[in-house]
A = this chain, B = another copy of it.
Amino acid sequence: MMKRATISDVAKRVGVSPTAVSFAFNNPSQLNAATVEQILAAARELGYAPNPHARALLSRRTGVLGVIVPQSLFAIYANPYFATFLQGIGSLCDDQALGLLTVSPLEGSLTSAIARAPVDGFIIVGLNENHDEVAPLRKRGIPVVIVDGHAHTTTSVNVDDEDGAYAAARHLLSHGHPHLTILTFEPVPLLEAHKASVGANRLQGYRRAVQEAGLEWAAQLVEPSISGVEDGEHCFLFLWEQGQRPTAVLCMSDAVAIGVVRAALQLGLRVPDDLEVIGFDDIPAANLITPSLSTVHQPIFEKGRTAAELLVARLEGDTPAETVVLATELVLRGTTR
């Protein structure tokens, strides 16, 4: 990998100043057409190309949007939710000729990831603005949009998680189940510690429906099941072994819900006759399994696209901070009666 030609190599070759070379590339109209031609020719011969880092240093622009995700890149790309979300961001990047950089916690900490990333702005997913790891971001002095998290000084894009959860729980309760089983992302104390997180909001929605129905919240079975189809499957199987006999399950993600349905079928239960299940998110797979999954739809693609639009707007001018909340909608399919 030989040393790259620099702008002054080209300049020397042609016998002009570096300025002229710079102009030839960025502002050819300022230069004599013949000179431009000579310079370009020399550049081609020397294999010269402008150094993007030097350019970025000066222009403060890289043409890249950063997406900070709270999981490993491996997990992100395996996750259909993020696939759709990134599609939304990607569609805007296509329009604006921007690159899309996914960054995940480096060396165990987001801080260094944030400090190093060569981007013009960040979309941060699943973390509140005041999170310890997010705070350093402000030092970078570049625009930030928070998705699925709370923000007070910058733009945020969320969906109405509480309302969606409420609708799901209410629907199930209206079928007269003696009690609900709720599968969460994390143990409840953790969930409630993360004030205003997606999980906390969904839990709050479930709780509101239960209390409105005049039932006792404590009587419901709330179990952590992490995420992923396998987690949901194991969780339901485990409950069954413990002697639990749920008739209605609410899951905080479709993946978990799909796992629950799979487990129920394995146990010989009929879905939805013996067991009703409602997921959350409405990922593509929800509509592909049999029976098709009833779930709370959220506009995942649109969420990504909107976040990217808002970020680009802040990049171009000093747009005021906005707080966007997209609607969710209960979609009844085959796993509810």
List chain A positions with a Cβ less than 8 A from chain B.
Answer: 1-5, 47-57, 60, 62-64, 66, 72-74, 76-78, 83-84, 86-87, 89-91, 93-94, 97, 99-104, 106-107, 113, 115-118, 136, 138-143, 288, 318
Q: Are A116 and B63 in contact (CB under 8 A)?
A: yes
Q: Are B53 and A60 in contact (CB under 8 A)?
A: yes
Contacts beyond the supplied A50-B115, A73-B90: 14 A-B pairs with Cβ under 8 Å = A53-B56, A53-B62, A53-B118, A56-B56, A63-B106, A64-B117, A66-B99, A73-B94, A74-B87, A74-B90, A77-B86, A93-B104, A100-B102, A101-B102
Contacts of A63 in B (CB 8 A): 106, 116-117
- Min CB–CB distance A23 → chain B (angstroms): 17
Q: Which residue of B lies closest to A68 (CB)?
A: B99
Q: How far is the CA of A126 from the CA of B228 in the complex (A)?
A: 32
Q: How far is the CA of A51 from the CA of B1 in the complex (A)?
A: 27
Residue among B3, B64, B115 making CB contact with A118, cutoff 8 Å: B64
Q: Are B99 and A102 in contact (CB under 8 A)?
A: yes
Q: Which residue of B lies closest to A59 (CB)?
A: B53
Can you list 26 contacts pairing A with B, beta carbon distance less than 8 Å? A1-B141, A1-B142, A50-B115, A51-B57, A52-B118, A53-B56, A53-B57, A53-B60, A56-B57, A57-B57, A63-B116, A64-B101, A73-B86, A73-B89, A73-B90, A74-B90, A74-B94, A76-B90, A77-B87, A77-B90, A78-B83, A97-B107, A99-B103, A99-B113, A99-B117, A102-B102
Q: Are B99 and A49 in contact (CB under 8 A)?
A: no
Q: Are B52 and A116 in contact (CB under 8 A)?
A: yes
* A interface majority secondary structure: mixed
Residue among B48, B74, B93 making CB contact with A91, cutoff 8 Å: B74
Q: Which residue of B lies closest to A87 (CB)?
A: B77
Q: How far is the CA of A263 from the CA of B228 in the complex (A)?
A: 32
Q: How far is the CA of A241 from the CA of B239 in the complex (A)?
A: 53
Number of copies of this chain that the complex holds: 2
Q: How far is the CA of A117 from the CA of B52 in the complex (A)?
A: 7
Max count, chain B CB within 10 A of own CB: residue among A2, A54, A93, A97: A97
Residue among B3, B57, B100 making CB contact with A54, cutoff 8 Å: B57
Q: How far is the CA of A103 from the CA of B93 in the complex (A)?
A: 9
Q: Are A99 and B101 in contact (CB under 8 A)?
A: yes
- Min CB–CB distance A207 → chain B (angstroms): 35
Q: Which residue of B lies closest to A140 (CB)?
A: B49
Q: Are B101 and A106 in contact (CB under 8 A)?
A: no
Q: How far is the CA of A118 from the CA of B5 in the complex (A)?
A: 18
Max count, chain B CB within 10 A of own CB: residue among A62, A99, A141, A288: A99
Q: How far is the CA of A292 from the CA of B336 in the complex (A)?
A: 27
Q: Which residue of B lies closest to A86 (CB)?
A: B77
- Min CB–CB distance A119 → chain B (angstroms): 8
Contacts of A102 in B (CB 8 A): 90, 99-102
Q: Are A2 and B49 in contact (CB under 8 A)?
A: no
